[in-house]
């Protein structure tokens, strides 16, 4: 007998992003292998003390790493890719109900740092 899947969206879910991503996931391993907290100190001089809070520099560089590893050169495509992946959301520290930074924020932050900062930080 032929089955037919009947899909209905639930109003509420009881789940955890941590439970949905396998323990041996690549981005879990990457997060454990590379500690990027040094970026807070290294990028502090690029930020002011007033105004709207910026994107977390660790999150920004993690998004750049995801783009590099997946050969994604468009910021729009990169944010869409990150938003659609459970393991990358966990890697970035964004839960299921959190909106990722806008693609324009990624572009502006990349211009703020410039190529020389990327080279100096990751050599």
Tens digit of pLDDT for each residue in 3-58? 889 889 888 888 899 999 999 999 999 999 999 999 898 888 888 888 788 899 99
Instruction: Give, in order, the Cα–Cα distances in Å from 54 to each of 13, 33, 51, 80.
Output: 31, 26, 9, 20
Tens digit of pLDDT for each residue in 66-92? 999 999 999 999 999 999 999 999 999
Q: What pTM, to 2 d.p., does this model score?
A: 0.87
């Amino acid at each position: 007998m032929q089955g037919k899947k009947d899909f209905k969206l639930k109003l509420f879910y009881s789940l955890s992003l941590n439970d949905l991503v396998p323990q041996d996931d690549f981005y879990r391993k990457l997060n454990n292998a590379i500690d990027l907290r040094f970026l807070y100190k290294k990028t502090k001089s690029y930020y002011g003390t007033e105004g709207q809070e910026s994107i977390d520099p660790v999150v920004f560089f993690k998004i750049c790493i995801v783009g590099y590893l997946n050969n994604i050169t468009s910021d729009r495509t990169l944010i869409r890719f990150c938003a659609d992946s459970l393991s990358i959301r966990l890697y970035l520290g964004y839960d299921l109900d959190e909106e990722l930074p806008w693609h324009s924020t990624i572009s502006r932050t990349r211009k703020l740092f410039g190529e020389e900062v990327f080279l100096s930080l990751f050599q």
